[in-house]
Amino acid sequence: MAEQSIAGKKVAFLLTDGVEQVELTSPWNAVKEAGGEPTLVSPASGKVQGYNGTEKGETFAVDLPVAQADAGDFHALVIPGGVVNADHLRVDKDAQAFTRAFFEQHKPVASICHGPWMLIDTDVVRGRNLTSYHTLRTDLTNAGANWTDEECVVDQGLVTSRNPDDLPAFNAKVIEEIAEGEHAGQTP
């Protein structure tokens, strides 16, 4: 995994309570192993509650409130899944603005499982190729995305995957896209 270096690159992880724990911890660790600096950004304060499916998992300390976060301070964004996490994030105006700013700045964005719900409400999926957890297919296609059932889809700096089984491929592409930097085609 640590074949590519992203030394010194700052990566925002946007999430809230209900995050699917492994979809946070696995890419987080991959970023750290590759030399990146992950930061937990959230509309929640204090700590967020992770889940392993429907069972409570660990809690994770919030590093930066999303209302104070600036995409200009980061090189990339990762949006983990979890039904509750994604459903709450997608309606948060600060989270929407923060996410959209990464697209406006042509920076890599990665999202897995239910995380792409956020991309619908941020209005950045029209004409883009992506995947997600299968239950989001209709939502994403209705929002104009080109949805496919693949392990990992990369479209001009946008990395998406379906579920925790896809994490090895997802993590590898996240690191690759961060290492490549800005993508001209990564636009809202």
Each residue of 131-166: b (16+ CB within 10 Å) or e? bbbeebeebbeebebebeeeebbbbebbbbbbbbeb
d(CA 159, CA 177) in angstroms, rounded, equals: 8
pLDDT tens for 13-47 read: 999 999 999 999 999 999 999 999 999 999 999 99
Query: Are 178 and 6 within 8 A, CB to CB?
Result: yes
d(CA 119, CA 36) in angstroms, rounded, equals: 24
- Residue 1 pLDDT > 60: no
Query: Are 139 and 120 within 8 A, CB to CB?
Result: yes
- Mean pLDDT value across the chain: 96
pLDDT tens for 147-178 read: 999 999 999 999 999 999 999 999 999 999 99
Domains belonging to the chain, first-starting first, are 10-180 (3.40.50.880)
Active site residues: 113-114
Q: Residue 83 is inside which H or E element, if any?
A: helix 83-89
What is the pTM (predicted TM-score) of this model? 0.97
The residues, any chain, with a CB within 8 Å of residue 93's CB and separated by 6 or more, are none
- pLDDT band for position 2 (cuts 50, 70, 90): very low
Distances (CA, A) of 139 to 4, 52, 75, 131: 34, 24, 28, 11
- The neighbouring-strand residues paired with 155 are 158
